[in-house]
Structure formats: structure tokens, C-alpha cells
Amino acid sequence: MSLIGQKVTVLGGGIGGLAAARALALRGAEVRVLEQAAKIAEVGAGLQISPNGIAVLRGLGLEEAVTACARRAEAIQLRNYRGAPVLRMALPQGDARGYYLMHRADLIDLLAKGARDAGVEIVLGAKVTEITLDPTVLRFEDRQTETPDLLIGADGINSVLRPALNGAAKPFFTGQVAWRALVPTQVEHPPIASLYMGPGCHLVTYPLRDRKLMNIVAVQERDEWAAEGWANPDDPANLRAAFSEFAPEVQALLARVESVKIWGLFRHPVASTWHNDNAALLGDAAHPTLPFMAQGANMALEDAWVLADALAGSADTDAGLMVYQARRHLRAAKVIAAANANARNYHLSFPPLRAIAHTILRTSGRLAPQAALKRFDWIYQEDVTKA
Ligand SMILES: Cc1cc2nc3c(=O)[nH]c(=O)nc-3n(C[C@H](O)[C@H](O)[C@H](O)COP(=O)(O)OP(=O)(O)OC[C@H]3O[C@@H](n4cnc5c(N)ncnc54)[C@H](O)[C@@H]3O)c2cc1C
């Protein structure tokens, strides 16, 4: 079906919503993005964009804009919590699609510009409080209502569209919390993602922008519950205490943390229904994931491309949305299962088991250094723009 002139309302101006808006607009749709925030601004944090995400950004004509502000990662370095190297996975360089380390705000900025350049209207301060279906009606905070022709719910983890299509979901606390912080440093760091694995906790750090800004994500298993959400502040002393046994270079970094956010990690089921005949879910709204494969944003980018492609390649909207879910559901569920499994792998608490696991990783790293990365080719080497 031709998307030329098709009116689409995208709810949510995050990574998935903005990418979908550009993808649809490039195919001729008239797209409006409704975003609750008063301005497009992102909480400071880092993102890893892997080759499968880069494939979509390339397809959207935004790869150059990404490489201009992101750092191409050279390697992922696994260490035990004392700092001893366990496994180094060199990342492909040269012409191959790369792995990039970037500031989330930079990705949002370039997607918003990309959407506007394609003719998308972004409406800020538009918070939708309720959605009813058949027909689809959006109700805003100020009680106004609107009936979109086609609605894409890219409204994140607390989606308003998801329960309308699926009923209320039952996420559960995983017993893990994640702290996130950005730390300016005096020296330039190599573009390497370092992962320190300890008993019941792990910490990932990598440089952003001019390589003097270090991104930290630190995960701990604990009974004490923390709210889900990216903006809940915590005392940096709690982060330092949780990782006080970690390597000196980690301690030095944590000593510089002035403000930190804490986020309770919840497991959400993948939505079983992603669409009806004129509304569809996308990104975290359809399939929130734990952060242990760094794939949430990459999956949202893939969804965005496939949605536009499926609509353009189908006889009508209904068929297009069906093809969209069919092409995305299984892959999203599989990636999320891999992220769930990684939490266990990083956090082995029983010392002999941890020692054995690290020895196996070390040995396999020496014998077949690329094998660990190749296990995930099914995620990273996917190119949904070629399907
Ligand atoms: C600590 C951490 C690290 C991560 N690291 C990575 C990584 O390295 N790589 C990766 O790929 N992913 C990563 N992710 C996951 C990734 O950030 C998310 O999966 C991704 O942002 C999902 O994009 P989205 O567009 O679906 O949702 P969101 O980014 O949540 O965007 C939703 C948008 O909708 C708006 N909105 C919500 N409700 C309403 C409403 N009712 N009315 C109007 N607007 C609304 C919101 O304001 C927001 O702008 C990480 C996440 C966290 C928390």
C-alpha cells in the first residue's frame, strides 16, 4: 500500500517513536509525534548501538550523523571484579558496520532533526492519559480528545496503548537494581566497554563524546526494592558502598560520581497483541527488556524500520500491522530471553563456580578469541533493512 498522504500519529518522541516517524515520513506518510515532555531532552546516559541498530540508522540516512558524534568501540573487555582480565572481544573495524558508544541525548537530537527534516511535526507537552479502542480515541491531560487514522504507541515502558490492547501486564521485580551515572574525567579513555563481574553484581563503563566522559551502569542483586524509572536519584555513597570490593580503577571512578540515578529492574512479559486494525505498539511499549544485552534501543530502531516496511509492502493497514508483528515478535522475545540469561552469567556468586566460568572464558578467549562474539551474530549481524 502506498503510504503517501497516510496520516499517522506516533505517541512518544523517544528513540523508537522518532525513528518510526522518519521511516514513515520518508515513505510519504504525514506524521505527527505527540510527546509529553515540554522539550526533547534526554537524561544523561550512554547507549551502545550495535551493528543491527546501525543498519537501521544507515537505512534512514542517519549513519553519518551518528558516526560524527559517537565513538566506534574497539573492544569489549570482561574482567573479574578485582580487575583481572577474563576475556577481550575485539570488535570489527573498517568497512563492517560498527559498534558505537554514544550519548543518549545525541541520538535523540539527531533522530528528532531527522524526523523534522523528513516533514514530521513534533508536538511537545502533549501527554495522553487514556486510550480507548474501536474506534481509537486519545484523551489528553487537558481532557481534549483526538481520533487518529493510524496510531503508533511508542510510549515506552509505561505505555498507555499497551494495556488498551492487552489488559494490564504483571511485571515483577527481578531483585536487581541498576545505578547510572556520568563522570567527567581528566584523561581520554580508549573506546572500550569494560565489564567487571563480581558476586551478585557487575559494572559496565565506557567513554562517551570526547572520551573524557565515562558512562557507568552498575547492577546489584538485592532484596530491597527500588522503583522502576530512569530518573530516581540516589545517594552516590550507596553506589560506592555496593562496589567497595571492586578494582582500584573502579573505586577511582566511583569516587568522582556526584549524582546518580537508581532504577529497579523489572521483568515485563512481551505483549501478546501488538496491534488492532489501526493502532500498534513499538519499542519498549511492546517489549521492555532488561539492559543486559544493551538491545532496547536497537530493538526499537529495528521495529521502526520493519513497521514502515511492512505497511508499505502490504495491501492495507490491517495486513501491514499483522506482517509487522509477525516479523518482530519472535526476534524481540528471543533477544529479551538472551538479556535475562546474561544477568545470571555475570553474577555468579559461588566462588568456585565463578572461578571455573572465568577460566573457561579466559581459555576460550585465547583459543578462539572471536567465538564469544560470534555466538551473538544472530543479534548483531541482523540487517532488517535487507529483509
Ligand atoms: C540503564 C539503561 C541502559 C540502557 N542501555 C542501552 C544500550 O546500551 N543499548 C540499547 O539499545 N538500549 C539500552 N537501553 C534501553 C533503551 O534505552 C530503551 O529500550 C529505549 O529507549 C526504548 O525506546 P522507546 O522509544 O521504545 O521508549 P522510550 O525511550 O522510553 O521513549 C518513550 C517516549 O514516550 C514518551 N511518552 C511516554 N508516555 C507518554 C504519554 N502518555 N504521552 C505522551 N508521551 C509519552 C516519553 O516521554 C518518551 O519520550 C538502556 C536502558 C537503560 C535504562
Q: Is 196 a catalytic residue?
A: no
pLDDT of residue 355: 66
Establish whether residue 59 lines the binding site of ligand 1, counting it when its CB lies within 6 angstroms of any ligand atom: no
| Any domain includes 363 | no
State the distance from the centre of ligand 1 to the C-alpha of 370, rounded, in angstroms.
31
Q: What is the pLDDT of residue 349?
A: 62
Please tell me the predicted confidence (pLDDT) of residue 229. Answer: 78
Report yes or no on 316 lying in a domain.
Answer: yes
**How far separated are the first and last CA of the chain, in Å rounded?**
18
Task: Assign 371 a pLDDT band (cuts: 50, 70, 90).
Answer: confident
pTM, two decimals, is: 0.94
Sequence-distant (6+) residues with CB within 8 A of 145 are 137, 138, 139
Which ligand 1 atom sits nearest the alpha carbon of residue 298? 11
pLDDT tens string 323-369: 999 999 999 999 999 998 887 667 666 666 666 666 666 766 666 66
C-alpha cell at 7: 496520516
pLDDT, mean of residues 71-94: 94
| Residue 313 is assigned to a structural domain of this protein | yes
Domain holding 107, by residue range, is 7-71+100-170+268-344
**pLDDT at 354 (0 to 100):** 64
**Centre of ligand 1 from the C-alpha of residue 371, in Å:** 31
Confidence of residue 96 (pLDDT cuts 50, 70, 90): confident
Give a yes or no: residue 212 inside a domain: no
* Residue 214 within a domain: no
What's the chain's average pLDDT? 92
Name the pLDDT band for 8 (thresholds 50, 70, 90). Answer: very high
User: Would you say the CB of residue 297 lies under 6 angstroms from ligand 1?
Assistant: yes
The mean pLDDT value for 207-236 works out to 88
Task: For ligand 1, say whether the CB of 10 is within 6 Å of any of its atoms.
Answer: no
User: From the CB of 34, is ligand 1 less than 6 Å away?
Assistant: yes
> Does residue 98 line the site of ligand 1, with CB under 6 A?
no
> Which of 52, 29, 26, 94 lies closest to 298 in space, CA to CA?
52
Domains: count for the chain: 1
**Quick one: pLDDT at residue 343?**
72
Say what the pLDDT of residue 230 is: 76
CA of 283 to the centre of ligand 1 (A): 8
Q: Name residue, grid cell 526499537.
A: 300
Q: Which atom of ligand 1 is nearest to the CA of 104?
A: 17
Residue 367 is predicted with a pLDDT of: 63
Q: What is the SS3 assignment for 202?
A: strand
The number of C-alpha atoms within 13 Å of 95 and in the hemisphere containing its C-beta is 0
Task: Please tell me if the CB atom of residue 254 comes closer than 6 angstroms to any atom of ligand 1.
Answer: no
Q: Which of 99, 100, 196, 206 is catalytic?
A: 206
- Check pocket membership of 295 for ligand 1, CB cut-off 6 A: yes
Reading the block at residue 126, the C-alpha cell is: 502533549
Contacts by 342-347 with C-beta closer than 8 Å and gap 24+?
342/292, 342/293, 343/174, 343/176, 343/219, 343/290, 343/292, 346/195, 346/197, 346/202, 346/219, 346/292, 347/197, 347/198, 347/199, 347/200, 347/201, 347/202, 347/219, 347/221
Supply the residue whose CA is at minimum distance from atom 3 of ligand 1. 291
- Is the pLDDT at 288 greater than 80, yes or no? yes
The 10s digit of each residue's pLDDT in 58-79 is 999 999 999 999 999 999 999 9
pLDDT value at position 5?
85
In the chain, the percentage of residues whose pLDDT exceeds 70 is 92
Exposed / middle / buried, residue 200 (Cβ in 10 Å: 0-12, 13-18, 19+): middle
**24-62 confidence digits (pLDDT tens):** 999 999 999 999 999 876 666 899 999 999 999 999 999
Q: Which atom of ligand 1 is nearest to the CA of 35?
A: 44
- d(Cα 54, Cα 74) in Å, to the nearest integer? 16
**How many Å lie between the centroid of ligand 1 and the Cα of residue 2?**
29
CATH number, residue 129: 3.50.50.60
| Residue 54 placed within a domain | yes
CB 230 within 8 A of CB 288: no
- Residue 135: inside a domain: yes
| pLDDT band (50, 70, 90) for residue 386 | very high
> For residue 35, what are the CA distances in angstroms to 121, 167, 194, 230?
11, 23, 34, 17
**Amino acid identity at 104:** R
| Residue range 121-155, pLDDT digits in tens | 999 999 999 999 999 999 999 999 999 999 999 99
Evaluate whether residue 356 is within a structural domain. no
- Taking residues 85-111, report their average pLDDT: 93
Residue 220's pLDDT is 94
Q: Whose CA is nearest to atom 48 of ligand 1?
A: 14
